[in-house]
């Protein structure tokens, strides 16, 4: 074989290897999507069907209208309300993260403050703190100040995933803005706030979008704070809804998988429409929320 031919064969071999790897990576996602369209009879037949068997929308109907034999949470009024709850929590987390993180990141990169080193070290360490440690304490503290079972309580807790990450990513971005920009604005008589609001913020648009997407996904996908801070009586995000279908002895697989597909939608949408922000966030932060 001549050299170019050999290298072309090698390249296709790589494609083949990558395709094989992707089968493993994507198969579980494929399985839940296909499974969500299977009938209860198929799901409990004891046979796994590699291809769609007898597609039906029954599971989605069950999940949207409620009425499933819910196994752990007692009441389950259907996932449509839960999807809305998760949207509110996700958007709330993104909003909180931006409100706190954008000005902080600006201060930590463009102002010379004594606390900068302490705060940045704290942020790095905060990313390490396991959520269960915070959840145990926040449960009692929130009980005391009446934030249990509330949107603000859950959003504040979910912010712990997003805010340290957001500040660090935005700070890295602000370093890339030339200081002359700020000096010029000041010379022209802009106040500090105007400089931030009118000059810096518009330039930070793409970094802000990246951070907002990750904060949204963190709030949307959160399970541990929802499990501890909400006690099932009031608001219930979709992650808790899925959990409520899991039984110790029997699981309503159709309902679990249809709600699981709902829960995957934002990630799927982001992957398609915001691919470049996702890639930027993943490499910039190097930490998942």
Residues 147-186 that bind another protein (CB under 8 A): 156-157, 159-160, 163, 167-168, 171-172, 175, 177-186
Distance (Å, whole) CA 64 – CA 79: 5
The residue range among 44-52, 54-62, 63-71, 77-85 that interacts with another protein, by the rule CB under 8 A, is: 44-52
52-60, 61-69, 74-82, 252-260 -> range binding another protein (CB under 8 A): 252-260
Q: For residues 262 and 238, is the Cβ–Cβ distance under 8 A?
A: yes
In sequence order, which residues have a C-beta less than 8 Å from that of residue 97 and are 6 or more positions away?
Answer: 159, 162, 163, 166, 211, 212, 215
Q: Within 13 Å of residue 71, how many CA atoms lie on the same side as its CB?
A: 13
194 binds another protein (CB under 8 A): no
Extract the tokens encoding 50: 């590699």
Among 73, 201, 203, 209, binds another protein (CB under 8 A): 203
C-alpha–C-alpha distance, residues 62 and 76, integer Å: 11
Binding footprint of another protein, residue count (CB under 8 A): 126
CB of 223 to another protein, least distance (A): 4
CA distance 15 to 11: 6
Decide if residue 274 touches another protein (CB under 8 A). no
Q: What x/- string results for residues 205 through 234 when contact with another protein is judged by CB under 8 A?
A: -x----------x--xxxxx--xx------
Q: How far is the CB of 13 from another protein (least distance, A)?
A: 8
């Amino acid at each position: 074989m001549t050299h170019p031919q050999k290298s072309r064969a090698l390249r296709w071999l790589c494609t083949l290897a990558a395709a094989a790897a992707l089968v493993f990576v994507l198969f579980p996602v494929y399985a839940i999507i296909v499974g969500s369209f299977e009938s209860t009879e198929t799901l409990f037949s004891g046979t796994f069907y590699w291809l769609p068997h007898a597609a039906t929308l029954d599971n989605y109907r069950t999940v949207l209208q409620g009425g499933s034999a819910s196994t752990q949470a007692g009441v389950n009024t259907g996932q449509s309300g839960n999807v809305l709850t998760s949207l509110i929590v996700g958007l709330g987390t993104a909003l909180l993260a931006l409100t706190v993180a954008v000005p902080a990141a600006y201060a930590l990169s463009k102002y010379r403050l004594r606390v900068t080193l302490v705060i940045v070290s704290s942020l790095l360490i905060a990313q390490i703190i396991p959520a269960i440690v915070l959840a145990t304490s926040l449960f009692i503290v929130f009980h005391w100040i009446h934030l249990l079972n509330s949107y603000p309580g859950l959003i504040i807790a979910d912010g712990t995933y997003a805010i340290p990450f957001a500040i660090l990513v935005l700070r890295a971005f602000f370093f890339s803005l030339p200081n002359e920009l700020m000096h010029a604005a000041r010379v022209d008589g802009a106040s500090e706030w105007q400089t931030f609001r009118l000059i810096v913020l518009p330039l930070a648009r793409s970094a802000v979008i990246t951070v907002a997407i990750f904060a949204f996904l963190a709030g949307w996908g959160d399970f541990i704070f929802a499990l501890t801070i909400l006690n099932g009586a009031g608001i219930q995000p979709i992650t808790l809804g899925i959990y409520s279908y899991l039984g110790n002895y029997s699981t309503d697989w159709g309902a679990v998988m249809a709600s699981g597909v709902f829960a995957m939608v934002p990630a799927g949408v982001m992957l398609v429409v915001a691919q470049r922000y996702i890639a930027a966030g993943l490499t910039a932060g190097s930490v998942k929320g």
